[in-house]
Amino acid sequence: MKDILQQLDDRRADAQLGGGQNRIDAQHARGKLTARERVHLLLDEGSFEEFDMFVTHRCTDFGMEQQKPAGDGVVTGWGTINGRLVYVFAQDFTVLGGSVSATHAKKICKIMDMAIQNGAPIIGINDSGGARIQEGVDSLAGYGDIFQRNIEASGVVPQISVIMGPCAGGAVYSPAMTDFIFMVKDSSYMFVTGPDVVKTVTNEQVTAEELGGASTHTKKSSVADAAFENDVEALAEVRRLVDFLPSNNREKAPVRPFFDTPDRIEPSLDTLVPANANTPYDMKELIIKLADEGDFYEIQEEFARNIITGFIRIEGRSVGVVANQPMVLAGVLDIESARKAARFVRFCDAFEIPILTLVDVPGFLPGVSQEYGGVIKHGAKLLYAYGEATVPMVTVITRKAYGGAYVVMASKHLKADFNYAWPTSEIAVMGAKGATEIIHRADLKDADKTALHVADYEDRFANPFVAAERGFIDEVIQPRMTRKRIARAFASLRNKKSSLPWKKHDNIPL
Ligand code: HXC
């Protein structure tokens, strides 16, 4: 009996070594942790329960029967993050480059199925050379099975991808279908075809880092939601994100203890908006002053910085924030910011996270490149996302809310529940100067008359009261009272029930 128990321990110890000590050392030398080290950092201490540690591949081609490492290049199982159940897989680059075989894929599918069944998030740690070349189509079929589960899990349980090494070929498409993608600077990359293929096909010369590194995907392509300095920081941030999210689409996000009164008055907000309507101010200051303990988890911080998206808590409950940023392009809506915000709004709506929208928007960005790039369809994504959202929505207009962008940014007309405006708000079709140039074109040559027209338009429309008189604004509030007002508004909406007419699925403009 003792021998059998010892054998089990030996087999486990062997499996835990993955591709062996030399390859583990090589992984460390690159500043990367091993799959198991990553899982242990991600999960609560001692909570990891592993599945399929002894699974091996069944390939007999290319001498593969000679190397059958236990676990087949991926560590899978479940554990907890701050006490809440999550399912996890971590590809083990020390075993055949973490490449995906039929059995490797089966292991991933097993935990994805369990996560969907048990209503818990799926966290995938990717570090892989892609499809296992020796297995040919079997490996592609395995990827297909993973993709199908990503799609079925979408909107049912949160899916988070952490890219901690190469992620090439079709392998990028599994992360692409998840809700959030995080990368590690200088040690992870994602691309459909690598630099060599790019050189052959398009004659462009580019490094792997330039083509698909963390900077590229957080700043240019928006494929990734954030990038971190190293594995440890990335995993700690995933833990922080999971705390903001519900476990599945039928539960609410956890309520965390808070040490910040919802009645907190912030006198400094009374002077946040500068006297000159063209002077920018930092909308993040407002977000942080509204949040419990000033804690803000930003999503896609480096991309389309004219709009801000992320999570805060109010009275310990998660709230998704969408806010125009006057510091960047005057907070205008354009193709990139509309896409970024639309996806965020849809995530919040799918997972019952209430949405707070902070508005200071001069309109949509005009221009040939915007029109050629399809700003009509991309802008419509955000309009559509807000209009279909049924979660509690509270909107605060701080300054400009012009034109179509006024309607888009969670206006009353799109079924937002509470629409507040600061006294500094200007709710109009456009700014006074632009309006004058159109409706008083005949007087444009006369500077005095034009100035009078501008002043008249400002008097009439550069305020929140016209909209308030019509009930499009529920109340004009003092900036200093904003946290209290939105906390009360969200509290009153906790039992909100709203649904859309039956449909198979919608047809959001893609
Ligand atoms: C089998 C692989 C592998 C793969 C790496 N290895 N990728 N084995 N299938 N896809 C093995 C290597 O042979 C090597 O084994 C070990 O993993 C470590 O790889 P290295 O090349 O030494 O590491 P490194 O220099 O860091 O380079 C990493 C890499 C490179 C950039 C990922 O290995 C690479 O380019 N691999 C091939 C990538 C690729 O073309 N994959 C297919 C993509 S197509 P030994 O024993 O020699 O140390 C795809 C389709 C999916 O994924 C479609 C879904 C629909």
Question: Is the per-residue pLDDT at 73 higher than 90?
Answer: yes
Mean pLDDT of 68-94: 97
Would you say 223 and 176 are in contact if contact means Cβ atoms under 8 Å apart?
Answer: yes
Question: Is the per-residue pLDDT at 33 higher than 80?
Answer: yes
pLDDT in tens, 324-372: 999 999 999 999 999 999 999 999 999 999 999 999 999 999 999 999 9
* Residue 419 phi, psi (nearest 5): -120, 110
**Position with higher pLDDT, 169 vs 140:** 140
pLDDT number for residue 444:
84
Q: Band the pLDDT of 459: cuts 50, 70, 90.
A: confident
Closest Cα to atom 54 of ligand 1: 170
pLDDT number for residue 143:
96
pTM value surpassing 0.90: yes
CATH architecture of the region 267-425+463-492: Alpha-Beta Complex (3.90)
Q: What is the mean pLDDT of the chain?
A: 95
* Cβ(164) – ligand 1 distance below 6 Å: no
**Ligand 1 pocket mutation pick from 96, 164, 174, 207 by most atoms within 8 angstroms of CB:** 96
265's CB contacts (< 8 A; 6+ apart) are: 480, 481, 483, 484
* Cβ(170) – ligand 1 distance below 6 Å: yes
Catalytic: 404? yes
DSSP 220: I
CA 181 vs CA 195, 234, 310: distances in Å = 22, 11, 14
pLDDT in tens, 36-45: 999 999 999 9
* Cβ(269) – ligand 1 distance below 6 Å: no
Mean pLDDT of 291-298: 98
- Which amino acid makes up residue 129? G
Q: Band the pLDDT of 277: cuts 50, 70, 90.
A: confident
Q: Kindly name the residue from 102, 405, 416, 467 that is annotated as catalytic.
A: 405
Closest Cα to atom 32 of ligand 1: 129
Mean pLDDT of 179-198: 94
Got the DSSP string for 306-323?
TEEEEEEEETTEEEEEEE
pLDDT number for residue 454:
87
Give just the sign of the alpha carbon dihedral 208, 214, 219, 225: positive
CB atoms within 10 A of CB 143: 21
Residue ranges matching CATH 3.90.226.10 in the chain? 2-244, 267-425+463-492
129's CB contacts (< 8 A; 6+ apart) are: 93, 96, 97, 98, 99, 166, 168
pLDDT in tens, 117-139: 999 999 999 999 999 999 999 99
pLDDT number for residue 89:
98
Q: Which atom of ligand 1 is nearest to the CA of 133?
A: 9
DSSP 364: B
Catalytic: 363? no
Alpha-carbon gap, residue 447 to 498, rounded angstroms: 52
Alpha-carbon gap, residue 166 to 128, rounded angstroms: 6
**Ligand 1 pocket mutation pick from 99, 103, 187 by most atoms within 8 angstroms of CB:** 99
pLDDT number for residue 475:
97
> Which residues on neighbouring strands pair with residue 419, listed in sequence order?
395
User: Which helix (H) or strand (E) is 118 found in, with range?
Assistant: helix 102-118
Q: Kindly name the residue from 130, 169, 320, 331 that is annotated as catalytic.
A: 169
Would you say 309 and 409 are in contact if contact means Cβ atoms under 8 Å apart?
Answer: no
pLDDT number for residue 462:
85
CB atoms within 10 A of CB 465: 15
Catalytic: 379? no
Q: Which two tokens stand for residue 442?
A: 């005949």
Lowest-confidence pick of 432-436, 472-476, 493-497: 432-436
pLDDT number for residue 337:
98
pLDDT in tens, 374-396: 999 999 999 999 999 999 999 99
pLDDT number for residue 430:
82
Alpha-carbon gap, residue 462 to 439, rounded angstroms: 16
* Residue 75 phi, psi (nearest 5): -100, 125
- Among 268, 439, 285, 425, which residue's Cα sits nearest to residue 361? 425
CA 158 vs. chain centroid, Å, equals 11
pLDDT number for residue 300:
98
**Position with higher pLDDT, 444 vs 406:** 406
pLDDT in tens, 8-29: 999 999 999 999 999 999 999 9
Would you say 470 and 416 are in contact if contact means Cβ atoms under 8 Å apart?
Answer: no
Would you say 315 and 258 are in contact if contact means Cβ atoms under 8 Å apart?
Answer: yes
Mean pLDDT of 271-275: 95
Closest Cα to atom 4 of ligand 1: 132
* Cβ(55) – ligand 1 distance below 6 Å: no
Strands 159-168 and 180-184: parallel
Write down the residue that tokens 């059998």 correspond to.
4
pLDDT number for residue 7:
94
Catalytic: 170? yes
CB atoms within 10 A of CB 376: 12
- Which amino acid makes up residue 228? F
Q: Which two tokens stand for residue 193?
A: 């075809």
**ipTM of the complex as predicted:** 0.97
* Cβ(97) – ligand 1 distance below 6 Å: yes
Q: Which two tokens stand for residue 57?
A: 């591949």
* Residue 337 phi, psi (nearest 5): -70, -35
Tell me how far apart the 2 most distant CA atoms of the chain are, in Å: 102
Q: Band the pLDDT of 461: cuts 50, 70, 90.
A: confident
**Ligand 1 pocket mutation pick from 23, 66, 133, 193 by most atoms within 8 angstroms of CB:** 133
Q: Kindly name the residue from 119, 144, 155, 170 that is annotated as catalytic.
A: 170
Q: Band the pLDDT of 189: cuts 50, 70, 90.
A: very high
Q: Identify the burial level of 249 via C-beta atoms within 10 angstroms of its C-beta, where 0-12 means exposed, 13-18 middle and 19 or more buried.
A: middle
CA angle 217, 111, 123 (to 5 degrees): 30
- Among 72, 80, 138, 78, which residue's Cα sits nearest to residue 113? 78
Alpha-carbon gap, residue 461 to 262, rounded angstroms: 33
How long is the chain? 510
**Position with higher pLDDT, 449 vs 37:** 37
Class of domain 2-244: alpha beta
* Cβ(142) – ligand 1 distance below 6 Å: no
Question: Is the per-residue pLDDT at 1 higher than 80?
Answer: no
Would you say 208 and 229 are in contact if contact means Cβ atoms under 8 Å apart?
Answer: no
Buried b (16+ CB within 10 A) or exposed e, 304-343: bbbbbbbbbbbbebbbbbbbbbbebbbbbbbbbbbbbbbb
